[in-house]
Amino acid sequence: MNNFSMASFSLEGKVALVTGAAYGIGFAMAEALAGAGAKIAFNCRSQSNLDKALTDYAAKGIAAKGYIADVTDEAQVNDLISKIEADLGGVDILVNNAGIIKRIPMTEMSAADFRQVVDIDLIGPFICAKAVIPGMLKKGHGKIINICSMMSELGRETVSAYAAAKGGLKMLTRNICSEYGGANIQCNGIGPGYIATPQTAPLRERQPDGSRHPFDQFIIAKTPAGRWGTPEDLMGPAVFLASDASNFVNGHVLYVDGGILAYIGKQP
């Protein structure tokens, strides 16, 4: 007898915190979690971004709760979790999405810049996970999704800090699984490929002669799917890893990259 039900993907009654979800892939994943029934909380660092995001969520029919909090500040994160608990209930799902990248050649990069990237992209997820795990232990369940990167596996020019942080985030994911898997807490990662967002739009603009931008050509040639990803491509993976459908998936990074990591590339 098959006991599987689509109800395994339901997030009804669950509270999800998606960090840095004012726009982009964080917003798309929050929208997907809301569509599956979750109550959404998000944070950002500025009031202007918060106000715009709340308007954007409302336009989608999502009653998201927004908060000002810096993920690198432990006191602010602890306060954030307390406020969410008071407003919505304890956090069942944490998506560590907040992150930055600084594209600077390594020998030109200051240690301060390197530290800032690691602080936001690696230490931030540690602080947020540390803040929600006690509540998850009390509830007897929890889902943590770390937004990793292809740079969790690959290096590239000018991204030494980002690759170091995202490689570390992959191992933090595995270690949270190792430490708390026995308490019915699943910690997994999502590794987006190259995603078409407003931030990457200049890299996809047609050249004056009608040809693709050189970086666009490079990505298309490296991607078996033959296209950039979209924020919507991350919605299903986020719901899967946040839901009971993934209860025996732990310490895994799900790469949503159109096949880039599987592919050596075309012969010149």
Contact (Cβ atoms closer than 8 angstroms) between residue 68 and residue 118? no
Nearest to 219 by CA among 265, 154, 163: 265
263 is annotated as an active-site residue: no
Q: Which of 57, 162, 180, 255 is catalytic?
A: 162
The conformation of residue 267, written as its DSSP 8-state character, comes to -
Backbone angles phi, psi at 171, to 5 degrees: -75, -30
Q: Where would I find the beta strands (DSSP E) of 45-194? A: 65-68, 93-96, 142-147, 185-192
N- to C-terminal Cα separation, the chain: 52
Give the residue from 35, 172, 153 showing the smallest Cα distance to 96: 172
Distances (CA, A) of 5 to 14, 93, 234, 244: 18, 21, 22, 10
Residues tagged active-site: 162
